């Protein structure tokens, strides 16, 4: 009779273990009396970077970045009968990551009182949340750029224009004998003109209004022509958007990435040639910027250590795109942005 009972228990345990092994979530059993893992399914092993059965016998505290987590499990289970929480964990290679865990306890036929915990890896969710956060920051920054640009253009620009008009009237009222005063006014007019030109350049950098007024293609042509006027590099530009009107947010992202890429090339590249291509294939916009200086390593640093690359990558991600960079006979920057990336 006892033998039949033992066989039935083992069959139930085998079935229980089979069910756990095929679950899509990570699951482990920990013996309460010594807080030691006695079983982990394949998914849980993969989440934490361990091989088959490597987790058996490991203390729970080794997997948690905060040692007080185990204590909180005891307290919550005593009060509520279950423990649900999000906290940081430590993989086998030392990587820290977030997970959501749901723990209950029951009396196991072999291991005694155990905690059964279902674990969900939150790495992708946290990355998505971070990308959304960065996207919102970029959007806020772009809105702030627009506001500042308008204030500079409307307020300072208007005041300087009035000053220039007053100087012109004053110059006409001064007698021809007052040559020195007349020259001073002309000099002041020149200063005002320089300030106005500077303001126009600043407002253009803050907010590419040409995109709003004439579209992305004309905006890029204007940017390239401006750069050509300040460099001897040959800049080849090819654009084929199939006649489509690019959504304003995507247009701004493409323009800003191109602006940053060209700025890096002008600062660091010894190449006398730059190729720019912007095309639309089906529902994807593809921007490629290439120079021909394979010794230009400034753009090939790890993205995390290069603020310019971080900015370009974050802009691409903010509209559902991807950012790629590699060196093959010169540095290539490539951005793919889906037409419905928002």
pLDDT tens readout for residues 287-339:
999 998 876 555 555 555 566 788 788 888 888 899 998 888 888 999 999 97
267, 296 contact by CB (below 8 A):
no
Judging by DSSP bridges, how do beta strands 36-40 and 26-31 pair with one another? antiparallel
Residue-wise pLDDT for 232-290, tens only, equals 889 999 999 888 888 888 888 899 899 888 888 887 788 889 999 999 988 899 999 99
Distances (CA, A) of 152 to 158, 197, 328: 9, 12, 43
Which of 116, 94, 89 is CA-nearest to residue 105?
A: 116
pTM: 0.47
């Amino acid at each position: 009779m006892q033998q039949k009972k033992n066989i039935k228990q083992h069959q139930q345990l085998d079935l229980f273990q089979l069910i756990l092994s095929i679950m899509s979530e990570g699951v482990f059993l920990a013996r309460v009396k010594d807080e030691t893992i006695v079983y982990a399914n394949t998914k849980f092993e993969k989440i934490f970077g361990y091989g088959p059965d490597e987790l058996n016998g490991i203390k729970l505290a080794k997997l948690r970045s905060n040692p007080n987590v185990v204590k909180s499990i005891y307290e919550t289970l005593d009060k509520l009968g279950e423990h649900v929480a999000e906290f940081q964990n430590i993989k086998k290679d030392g990587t820290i990551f977030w997970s959501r865990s749901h723990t209950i306890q029951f009396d196991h036929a072999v291991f005694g009182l155990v905690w059964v915990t279902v674990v969900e890896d939150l790495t992708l969710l946290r990355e998505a949340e971070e990308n959304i956060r960065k996207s919102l920051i970029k959007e806020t920054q772009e809105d702030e750029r627009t506001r500042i640009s308008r204030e500079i253009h409307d307020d300072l620009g208007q005041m300087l224009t009035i000053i220039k008009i007053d100087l012109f009237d004053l110059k006409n009222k001064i007698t021809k004998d007052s040559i020195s005063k007349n020259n001073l006014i002309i000099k002041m007019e020149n200063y005002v003109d320089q300030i106005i030109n500077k303001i126009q350049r600043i407002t253009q950098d803050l907010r590419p209004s040409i995109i709003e007024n004439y579209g992305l293609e004309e905006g890029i042509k204007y940017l390239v022509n401006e750069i050509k006027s300040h460099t001897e590099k040959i800049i080849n530009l090819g654009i084929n958007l199939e006649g489509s009107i690019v959504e304003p947010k995507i247009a701004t992202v493409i323009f800003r990435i191109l602006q940053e890429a060209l700025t890096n090339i002008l600062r660091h590249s010894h190449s006398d040639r730059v190729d720019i291509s912007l095309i639309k294939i089906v529902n994807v916009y593809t921007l490629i910027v290439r120079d021909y200086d394979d010794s230009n390593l400034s753009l090939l640093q790890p993205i995390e250590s290069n603020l310019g690359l971080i900015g370009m990558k974050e802009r691409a991600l903010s509209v559902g795109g991807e950012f790629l960079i590699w060196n093959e006979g010169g540095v290539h920057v490539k951005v793919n942005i889906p037409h419905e990336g928002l």
